[in-house]
Amino acid sequence: MSMAKGFRVKFLFVALLNLWVVHQAACSMNVSSHGHQAHSRFLLDNGVSRTPPMGWNSWNHFHCDLNETIIRSTADALVSTGLAKLGYKYVNLDDCWAEGERDKKGNLRGKLTTFPSGIKALADYVHSKGLKLGIYADAGNRTCSNQMPGSLGHEDQDARTFAEWGVDYIKYDNCYNDGSKNRGRYVRMSRALQKAGRPIHYSLCEWGQEKPAIWAGAYGHSWRTTGDINDTWASITSIADANDVWARYAGPGGWNDPDMLEVGNGGMTVEEYRSHFSIWALMKAPLLLGCDVSSASRETLSIIGNKEVIDINQDPLGVQGRKIRTKGGLEIWAGPLSRGRVVVVLWNRSRARAPISVGWREIGLSPSRPVTVRDVWKHKFVAMKRRYRLTSSVASHSCKMYVMTPFSG
């Protein structure tokens, strides 16, 4: 068998393994056969997130200082910058959007001082822009800020509320819980969302504590594999490594989530942000912007608006790329794409510029077969009939990202 065929067979096996793992995870739960089948059909039939979700979340930049003006202006900016046309469609409220207590009927309600028009009106506005609204809730008694109620014990009621408001995405956090197993509490919200009847992306945010990659694909569309990100080089590198462990469990409709993007928040260099975006795209991570889109710089927009990199993330094959080799901070990450192509990232995590080489055998290509090599950051072909290997000089904390296409001429 050729190396190219072996590479494709390997990843076909991974895809089948993904389906088996999801089935086993669901069957291991103490639920009826009929209930499991109906729930699985719901997740498969709702058409949500067959590719990784793209959009924006308020937390990384605004934290609790959010209001409906910020959300509306962000929706406007996604459209005016052209980011919406590139696929950034979710506008997600994180923590602190609700009043501190429920109303007399036990319902959640938008905070009057910051969301005076209400969440339903906000959803209508976002939808009028051709976008989708996301919201935040928690599988405990209070959310992580301790400024609003959690959904523990109110799963059905809150799921109905979110559906009635027209919510399209829910991030479900894990603070102030009752000490019970995470899985059970997250499954309850999954069932509640099913009964609510609206196609909603369900993002499980239990920080990877109970290895959700193994079981969450039966109940949601993405799951956090790590703790929270911050706007530092040390954070993105450690989180990339932690997320890489679970690569085989991701695929169309269910994605490993290494947390939201920090690009544009000011804590890293342009090259570090470009590396951050490249690796998240290769890992098929949700691409949720965390900056202030309405004031984003040209450099930031050039990174998050790179269509060629976004196309890698949104590739319909849906196989998460992985770390292939590392030595002395010089790394090769790669993964298969549709139409027999391969994406490769040469990532220099060391403190000095260095050459990084990748051989065709390492990435599943036949050494003697010619390959076209496209640099997706330079937007040009750097080789048309390259054989055997590629070497590139990569600056410190920078990367080179290529799409390899076996030559068919």
- CA dist 45 and 62 (Å) reads 35
Among candidate residues 156, 228, 311, 375, the one labeled active-site is 228
Q: Catalytic site residue 138? A: no
CA distances from 206 to 51, 98, 129, 219 (A): 22, 21, 31, 13
Distance of CA 188 to the CA centre of its chain: 22
- CA dist 213 and 184 (Å) reads 15
| Contact assessment for residue 243 and residue 275, using Cβ atoms and an 8 Å cutoff | no
Among candidate residues 94, 158, 173, 259, the one labeled active-site is 173
| Contact assessment for residue 189 and residue 207, using Cβ atoms and an 8 Å cutoff | no
Q: Catalytic site residue 228? A: yes
- CA dist 264 and 60 (Å) reads 10
- SS3 of residue 324 by DSSP: strand
* The dihedral sign for the CA sequence 225, 230, 235, 240: positive
- CA dist 273 and 6 (Å) reads 34
- CA dist 111 and 122 (Å) reads 12
Residues designated catalytic: 173, 228
